[in-house]
A and B are shown apart, each in its own frame.
Chain A
Amino acid sequence: MSLRNNRAVLLAAAASVLLVAGLALALFWAPEDADQGFSQRIFYIHVPIALTAYSGFGWGAWKALRLLWTRESRYDLESYTAVHMGVIFGILTLVTGSIWAKISWGVWWTWSERQLTLFLVLFLFYCAYFMLRFSVESGPRRANLSAVYALFGVALIPVSFLAIRLAENFIHPVVFTRDGPQMSGSMFFVFCVCLAAMLGLFASLYTNELTGKRLDARLHELREALE
């Protein structure tokens, strides 16, 4: 038990260090972008958060697959926690993306940002995931339904992305465009540190949340055994 604790603490410590380092590098050390100036730096936060959200959904889908394959109920909690964390990071993606749009172009939302549009669709999808879970009693049934839905989610990611790209042809393209930053070596380095930081944050939060939920379940079990 204490060994697991140690690992969680180490993970949290590593994530914290990376976060501080990443933020510091992003704000002070990374070279200034010629076109967008200081506001471009939010890229170092926004994109890693987005990629981490995708990882969360992917991790949740992997655990869902394991659940359906092995029928072991512990994967349900793991899948749910991963999706839960993924949604939180998804909200952050939408928020940071919106802030960036406001800073860059003066609007809080724009459909020309493919990433953002994709996240909006996924956000709706995974909100329905929670509605599904809330409306089914806990047990093997709920675990199965959630797992199948999580798998549909990851199938939706590439398909939606393709759809959004195709949609741009007939939904009149908006004026704003943004060139993907051509990353120089140092920019790439900062990006990697920030990405590692966000993934570390995800892993740390995931581990904590999962432990907490498992303790809850165990407590429940013990209470019942006493009845």
Chain B
Amino acid sequence: MSDVILELKNIKKWFPVRRNLSQMIKGEQQYVKAVDGVSLQIKRGEIFGLIGESGCGKTTTGKLIMKLMDPTDGQIIFNGEDVTYLNKEELGKYKRNVQMIFQDPYASMNPRFKAVDVLTEPLEIHGLGANRAEREELATKALEEVKLTPPEDFLGRYAHMLSGGQRQRLATARTLILSPDFIVADEPVSMIDLSTRAEILHMMKEVQQSMGLTYLYITHDLSTARYFTDRIAVMYLGKIVEMGYADDLIDKAKHPYTKALISAVCEPVSGKVNQSKEVPIKGEIPSAANIPEGCRFHPRCLYAKPECIEGGDPVLEEVEDGHFVACRRHREI
């Protein structure tokens, strides 16, 4: 097996916008281009961070990988096989290998299920474990894996009897129980209290190392991404604008958008109260239904030149070892 577990090739997801009568007659159709040509390779055993503001297409990308929706265009390659379009049977097999941890541990669990039901349901769906006793044994093991110990104490509890952190552990156990290779974690800690956030990330990392998992970590939070991930890709309006090793990307950011994001992050250090924050960016994020011509970042960029508008979309090119940037002027700025 190659060391690339998942590859996206120019993947796109366009959502059609409802048309008015005149558009229908003229046969016009507008699209919200949520994901507009994303290519990336995720290596086996790494934690890959996908970062961006709300509406940049990061969650849609995650859903495309989960096969919760079909892409408009492009290819998804998993373990060397094209999985872009799958029939029901293949899909079932695929979903055993690719699992997801959702953002909200309060909403992603059936309130009428005990922990044991939460954990054995996926086993039943996928026909794993010969009988109930065997499935419960697997559930116990999964709880131990995520450090909800002693597991006997937790098996009989309902979701509301758990704290936020415990719930997210249970959610992680639920994904692990099918022994997947790849986990999409969409903002897994953003709803967890700060004091336990690090604990959850730490647990996820331990599980990843002991089971040889690969994560796609989707977040808007650069600080946890730096701590948690190996590589990071920054998305803006449906495209990746910069990608590289986590430390490189943050210490040596090259794209003006990444630089703006980094300067906007608050840091818990003294001496900043009496100054206002300089964030080198203009205006607000445009709608994905109306993506600007040329470089999609140019209306907000402080360094934009006519060539940025006329020259079309800049290509994501490797400028240093493993560091990719989609900006024409990254050397000058």
A and B bind? no
Interface residues of A (CB under 8 A from B): none
